[in-house]
């Protein structure tokens, strides 16, 4: 079984006709550490049963992301303009009648009418009862499909970029391994030469102790264990990017990036070589780019 790398960013939209009422459904998702779903209704009220069904449908398909679902009534521009004009006249007449009744001298202007219309428009509106769910379900499913399709398309782009950075890191590790392998022996020889000169100048120093100190230094500079772990982490990362089955692979990628960073830091602190140090800095920069990109992966 393989898994597809997907982005947490996406958008989907669909439309449903419920009798004489047209309803639009829009879904958008952004990055989030977990799954956070919010359902918002515009110009109407959703029955709790409908909201629960929408949440169930989304949670069955997504594991991470901040998802916002908007459900609202849809009207044509022409019909909406006619309705607004008619409603505006009614509101103006009502307010003007109230003004005369109260004996207020100031005439009712369009700004006041618009304020009342806006308050009415943002009200709770008519309720969409639970019985409408079966008619609304296809639109919710279509919007969700659109969201998933966009997330998959962006996920393919993320995967290509992450694979490139994983390959770059692996190449850097191999270059570091080749250079670092010679560092302990070279350092031990240099220390041995210095200590040998010291032994000549100061009689009585035990040659065996000098050899032991050289061996201890060589062991401290040995990074073979870090190289082995880095290779293992990068190989695991490659399998995840290649489609290894995993729930929420973005979390695993983030964890592996943390482990890779730990090994690179340890390696950089142990190896006393200017060329290796430069490669370590390059590896840290590449890893940081990988970690930033991985934040977009579900």
* pLDDT at 122 (0 to 100): 43
Q: Count how many residues are written for the chain.
A: 298
Query: How confident is the model over 200-226, as a mean pLDDT?
Result: 63
Residue with tokens 């004009």: 85
Residue 214 has pLDDT above 80, yes or no: no
Find the domain containing 16 and state its range: 10-76+130-151
Residue 172 has pLDDT above 90, yes or no: yes
Q: Compute the distance between CA of residue 76 and CA of residue 272 in angstroms, rounded to an integer.
A: 71
Q: What is the pTM of this model?
A: 0.70
67-102 tens-digit pLDDT: 999 999 876 544 444 446 777 888 888 888 888 888
Q: Compute the distance between CA of residue 273 and CA of residue 124 in angstroms, rounded to an integer.
A: 69
Indicate the DSSP class of residue 87. H
On average, the pLDDT of the chain sits at 84
Helix (H, G, I), strand (E, B) or coil at 95: helix
Q: Is residue 262 part of a domain?
A: yes
Residue 115 has pLDDT above 90, yes or no: no
Whether 197 and 226 map to the same domain: the answer is yes
Q: Compute the distance between CA of residue 233 and CA of residue 230 in angstroms, rounded to an integer.
A: 5
Whether 35 and 87 map to the same domain: the answer is no
* pLDDT at 149 (0 to 100): 97
Burial class (CB in 10 A: 0-12, 13-18, 19+), 25: buried
Number of domains comprising the chain: 3
Whether 100 and 180 map to the same domain: the answer is no
* pLDDT at 294 (0 to 100): 92
Whether 142 and 269 map to the same domain: the answer is no
Q: Is residue 5 part of a domain?
A: no
Whether 63 and 187 map to the same domain: the answer is no
pLDDT band at 113; cut points 50, 70, 90: confident
30-79 tens-digit pLDDT: 999 999 999 999 878 899 999 999 999 999 999 999 999 999 987 654 44
250-287 tens-digit pLDDT: 999 999 999 999 999 998 888 878 888 999 999 999 99
């Amino acid at each position: 079984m393989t898994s597809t790398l997907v982005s947490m960013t996406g958008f989907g939209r669909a439309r449903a006709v419920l009798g004489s009422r047209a309803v639009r459904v829009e879904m958008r998702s952004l990055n989030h550490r977990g799954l956070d779903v919010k359902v918002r209704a515009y110009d109407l009220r959703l029955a709790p049963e409908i909201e629960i069904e929408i949440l169930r449908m989304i949670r069955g398909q997504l594991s991470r992301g901040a998802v916002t679902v908007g459900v609202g009534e849809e009207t044509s521009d022409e019909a909406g303009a006619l309705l607004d004009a008619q409603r505006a006249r009614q509101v103006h007449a009502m307010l003007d009648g109230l003004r005369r009744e109260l004996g207020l001298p100031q005439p009712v202007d369009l700004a006041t009418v618009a304020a009342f219309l806006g308050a009415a428009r943002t009200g709770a509106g008519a309720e969409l009862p639970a019985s409408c769910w079966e008619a609304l379900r296809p639109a919710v499913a279509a919007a969700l499909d659109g969201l998933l399709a966009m997330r998959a398309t962006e996920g393919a782009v993320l995967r290509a970029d992450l694979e490139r950075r994983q390959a770059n890191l692996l190449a850097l590790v191999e270059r570091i391994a080749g250079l670092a392998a010679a560092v302990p022996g070279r350092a031990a020889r240099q220390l041995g030469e210095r200590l040998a000169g010291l032994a000549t100048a100061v009689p009585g120093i035990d040659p065996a102790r000098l050899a032991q100190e050289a061996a201890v230094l060589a062991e401290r500079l040995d990074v073979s264990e870090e190289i082995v772990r880095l290779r293992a982490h990068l190989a695991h990362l490659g399998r995840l990017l290649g489609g290894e089955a995993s729930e929420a692979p973005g979390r695993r990628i983030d964890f592996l990036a943390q482990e890779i960073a730990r090994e690179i830091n340890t390696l950089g602190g142990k190896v006393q070589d200017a060329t290796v140090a430069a490669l370590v800095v390059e590896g840290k920069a590449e890893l940081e780019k990988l970690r930033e990109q991985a934040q977009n992966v579900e």
